[in-house]
Amino acid sequence: MAVLSKIRQRSLLVILFVGFGLFAFIIGDLVHSNLFSQSSRNVGKVNGKEIAFEEFRIKVDAVEKSGQGMTASQAVNRVWDQEVSIALLTAEFEKLGLTVGEKQIIEVLKQSQDIGQNPEFLNDAKQFDLAKFRAFFKNNPQSAQ
């Protein structure tokens, strides 16, 4: 009982102490929030390249919808691993001066089942027709994105 009476006598001090704690908590949260920091819009940073949350989310959604039966955390991990690999390999390729030419890109497109075997891009001999491929994107510029 003596403790409760002491607290009652010093209630103003207790209220000030609790108020200061709440104030410090709110200020600390504001310092680390969007108001003062842009880092919350990025998922991470790999080799100096920031990875935007929105781009990352779109890629994770695409992986989840790919029908591979992955959980959300597996999709996030896969996309993160891909982003890290791309960032590191791109930096290494640039350092070594490696580039990919148009011929190599066309060969990869020809080998792709989605593009190289698409009837829209095949000629009468059932071969990949680069002219049809280019015409498709010329006529449908929104598809190029």
Number of domains in the chain: 3
Phi, psi of 30 (to 5 degrees): -65, -35
Tell me, yes or no, whether 21 and 43 share the same domain: no
Tell me, yes or no, whether 46 and 72 share the same domain: yes
Tell me, yes or no, whether 112 and 81 share the same domain: no
What confidence tens digit (pLDDT) does each residue in 59-102 have?
999 888 887 788 889 999 999 999 999 999 999 999 999 988 88
Tell me, yes or no, whether 47 and 21 share the same domain: no
Rounded (10°) CA dihedral 50, 53, 59, 62: 180
Report the percent of the chain where pLDDT is more than 90.
23
Q: Which two tokens stand for residue 117?
A: 């075997």
Tell me, yes or no, whether 48 and 91 share the same domain: yes
Tell me, yes or no, whether 62 and 109 share the same domain: no
Tell me, yes or no, whether 107 and 92 share the same domain: no
Tell me, yes or no, whether 113 and 79 share the same domain: no
Tell me, yes or no, whether 118 and 86 share the same domain: no
Tell me, yes or no, whether 10 and 53 share the same domain: no
Tell me, yes or no, whether 92 and 108 share the same domain: no
What's the pTM? 0.52
Per-residue exposure over 18-27, b if at least 16 CB sit within 10 Å of its own CB, e if not: eeeeeeeeee
Residues spanned by the domain of 19: 2-31
